[in-house]
Structure 1
Amino acid sequence: MKIQIQNETFILHPSGAVFWESKKIIIISDVHLGKVTHFRKHGIAIPQNAISENFRKITAVLDYFLPEKIIFLGDLFHSVKNAEWNLFEEWLSIHDQETYLITGNHDIIDEIHYKKIGVIVTELLELNHFFFTHHPTEKENLFNFSGHIHPGIVLRGLGLQTLKLRCFFCKPNQMILPAFGEFTGKYFLKPNSEDTVYAIAGNDVVQIKKE
Structure 2
Amino acid sequence: MTQNIQIQNQEFQLHPLGGLFWIEKSLLLISDVHLGKVSHFRKFGAAVPRKAIHKNFLLLDKIVADFQPFQICFLGDLFHSSLNKEWEFFENWVAKTPAEILLVTGNHDIIAPEKFKKLKVLIFPELVMDAFLLTHHPEERKDHFTFCGHIHPAIKLKGFGRDRIKLPCFFKSDNQMILPAFGQFTGTHALNPKKGDEVYAIVEDSIIKV
Q: How high is the sequence identity, in percent, across the aligned residues?
A: 50
Q: Report the counterpart of residue 107 of structure 1 in structure 2.
A: 109
Aligned pairs, how many? 208
Counterpart of 1:93 in structure 2 is 95
| Cα distance in 1 for residues equivalent to 2:179 and 2:34 | 14
- Choose 121-130 or 151-160, whichever is displaced more: 151-160
1:190 aligns with 2:203: no
Aligned to 1:3: 5
Alignment pair present for 1:54 and 2:56 = yes
| TM-score, normalised by the number of residues in structure 2 | 0.98
Distance across 2 between alignment mates of 1:136 and 1:175: 8
Deviation digits for residues 140-187 of structure 1 (CA, Å, limit 9, x no counterpart)? 111000000000010012412101100000010100000000110000
After superposition, where does 1:73-84 map in structure 2 within 5 Å? 73-84=75-86
Alpha-carbon RMSD: 0.6
DSSP 3-state at the match of 1:36: helix
Aligned counterpart for 1:170 among listed residues 151, 169, 172:
172
Which among 32, 35, 45 is matched to residue 43 of structure 1? 45
Structure 2 spans left out of the alignment, 5+ residues = none
2:22 equivalent in structure 1: 20
Q: Runs (4+) of structure 1 moved beyond 2 Å?
A: none
**Would you say 1:199 and 2:201 are equivalent positions?**
yes
Tell me, in whole angstroms, the C-alpha distance in 1 between the residues paired with 2:83 and 2:205: 32
Look up the SS of the partner of 2:55 in the other structure. Answer: helix
- Cα distance in 2 between the residues matched to 1:103 and 1:159: 43
Within the candidate set 143, 147, 150, 1:148 is matched to 150
Question: Which residue identity does 1:61 align to in structure 2?
Answer: I
Q: CA deviation at 1:193?
A: 0.4
| Amino acid across the alignment from 1:27 | L
Distance across 1 between alignment mates of 2:118 and 2:144: 32
**C-alpha distance in 2, partners of 1:7/1:127?**
14
Q: Which amino acid aligns with 2:199?
A: V
DSSP 3-state at the match of 2:42: helix
- 2 CA distance for matches of 1:181 and 1:65? 18
